[in-house]
Structure 1
Amino acid sequence: MSGKRSAAVVSGVLAVLLAVAGCGTDVLSPTPTSAAAPTGPAAPGDDPAAQLAALTVAPEGKMTGYSRDRFPHWSNQGGGCDTRDVVLQRQGADVKTADKCKIVSGSWTSAYDGAVVTDPGQLDIDHVVALAEAWRSGADKWTDEQREKFANDLGGLQLIAVSATSNRAKGDQDAAKWKPPAQAYWCTYARAVVSVKTIYSLTVDEAERDALGAMLKTC
């Protein structure tokens, strides 16, 4: 992908992510019930490097007790739509729906790899901070209700529509083990991870902190 196209992809996706966010929130805030009334940070912090430095550094916790079912998703958002539907509508172009909010067509640019996707079935909604990574970073101590709010956070920078291929390559890995193939997106990705971990008071291990710091230097 050319430099001009990469820059356009990053600029466009960041504009969408920032446009859908509202004011500050925390892990106990109610999950938005519609696309019209999101809550969450307006943008990554003015100084993401300072945010990163303020995160608690700790070894990753164990996976004991983890299940994706401990993070219920996708929640009902009203009008027949669930969280996935809302993200697809927000981040796509020319999105058309059928009965009960079923997404039938549209166009989406996957920021992780630059792929243009027109089949909604080939898209995943990625949790920028993966659910298992959140569990290892402190979410194991939350209630299931808090985990549901995290997994369906429409107000911040936690949810993004990307190609299924890129999302499944990422899996539950943190930034030390996986980075978006599109290097032009590293700055935006690192800022989003730092923002989410700050809002939810999640920890980073040393390798993840260093990887995020390196990506922030590309900003």
Structure 2
Amino acid sequence: MGDEVAVRRRRQPEQTGQPRRIPQQRRGRERFEKILSVALELIEKNGSDALKMSEIVEKAELSFGALYQYFPDKSSIIRTLAERFNEQGRACVEAELATVADAETLRQALCNIADQYYAFFRQEPVMRDIWIATQADRLLQQVDAEDMEFHAQALFSVLAKLAPERSRSELIAVARLTMQLLAAAVRYAISLDDAEGQAAITLYQRMLPADIARLS
């Protein structure tokens, strides 16, 4: 038993925080999805901090070799799940910003994004846990940074149309800080009970300036 554990440890790849490969064939894809499904169940039950590769192997009925063929560490599993959830968030932001025509509709779009993100994390406690994990894990912080920059660039594109006379550096600074503050407000709100959380989101929305493009 001791020799088996030692061999397993020697074979385990160095932590990278990224999946080893995305399978293209059906059988490999099914195994890939099964691993993610099992990981979600375990995170929902015990939290991401308690996620163990050995438990995934046992519950998914796979060998360690089969697991490591796709995911070298648990950070790579959490990263894959986070990126999938982020895709849903990006779709929300893109849809809301596409409706913006002026300062008033921009402010309303940001209020809608805050509402939808708050509702999303309330309805998906697993995603809330994964979102917190991306903040705490050094290997996963890049995922959050890339997602925030995507939102900032999307908002910048809108601001550039509303205030073309403003410099690019000013507008990108406003866009980045605006999206960071929105994320911070949602993160704070979901740490509270639902009534207090909703009140926090409402307060954040009231604090939004009437014309974000004019911030300096």
Please give the range of the TM-score, normalised by the shorter of the 2 chains: under 0.3
TM-score normalized by the length of structure 2: 0.27
Higher helix share: 2
TM-score normalized by the length of structure 1: 0.27
Q: Which has the larger radius of gyration?
A: 2
Higher strand share: 1
